[in-house]
């Protein structure tokens, strides 16, 4: 299997990371060598194996639905790269 530039462009769209041509070529090379290494897993037959989805074999604990943090808007907004005291601000989305 080989990951081509078209695939790299597609993944970078999905991952929301812009890559220029030069980066894309470097990434294609890196990913191909990593996937070559990953393909080793195909040696194993796993048809009847249950996938391991959680390492901690416990059921999630239930808790009462209570508000624990009140009036923390200021704290939440504090680290925002651009704010107007009340909201997160993003570039205009509606024309």
Partner 1 sequence: MSDITKQSLTELVENIKNKKLSSTDVTKAFIDRSEKSEELNAYITNDFTSALDKAKKFDQKPNLNLKLPGIPMAVKDLFCTKDIKTTAGSKILNNFVPTYESTVTENIWNEGAILLGKLNCDEFAMGSSNETSFFGNVQSPIDKNLVPGGSSGGSASAVAGQLTPVTIGTDTGGSIRQPASFTGIVGLKPTYGSCSRYGIVAFASSLDQAGPMAQNVKDCALLHEVISSYDSKDATSIDFKRNHYSKELTNNIKGKKIGIPKEYRVDGMPKEIEDLWQKGIQYVKDCGAETIDISLPNTSYALPTYYIVAPAEASSNLARYDGVKYGFRAKGENLIDMYEKTRSEGFGAEVQRRIMIGTYVLSSGYYDAYYLKAQKVRKLIKNDFDEAYKKVDAILTPSTPSSAFKIGEKTNDPVSMYLNDIFTVPVNLAGLPGISIPAGHDSKGYPLGLQIIGKAFDEQNILNIAYAMEEKINFKNRITDWWIK
Give residue 79's Cα distance to chain centre.
21
Minimum CB distance to partner 1, residue 92 (Å): 7
- Binding to partner 1 by residue 70, rule CB under 8 A? no
- Pattern 22-61, partner 1, x by CB under 8 A: -----x--xx-xx--xxxxxxxx-x--xxxxxxxx-x-xx
What is the DSSP secondary structure assignment for residue 11, as one 8-state letter? Answer: H
Of 20, 22, 24, the residue nearest 5 (C-alpha): 24
Cα separation, 91 vs 26, whole angstroms: 31
> CA-based Rg of the chain, rounded to a whole angstrom?
23
Contact positions vs partner 1 (CB under 8 A): 3, 7-8, 11-12, 14-19, 27, 30-31, 33-34, 37-44, 46, 49-56, 58, 60-61, 63, 72, 75-76, 78-82, 88, 90-93
């Amino acid at each position: 299997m080989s990951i081509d530039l078209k695939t790299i462009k597609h993944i970078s769209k999905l991952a929301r990371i812009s890559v220029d041509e030069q980066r894309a070529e470097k990434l294609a090379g890196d990913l191909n060598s990593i996937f070559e290494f990953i393909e080793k897993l195909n040696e194993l037959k796993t048809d009847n194996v249950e996938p391991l989805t959680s390492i901690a074999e416990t059921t999630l604990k239930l808790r009462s639905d209570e508000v624990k943090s009140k009036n923390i808007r200021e704290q939440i907004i504090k680290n925002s790269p651009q704010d107007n005291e009340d909201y997160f601000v993003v570039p205009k989305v509606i024309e």
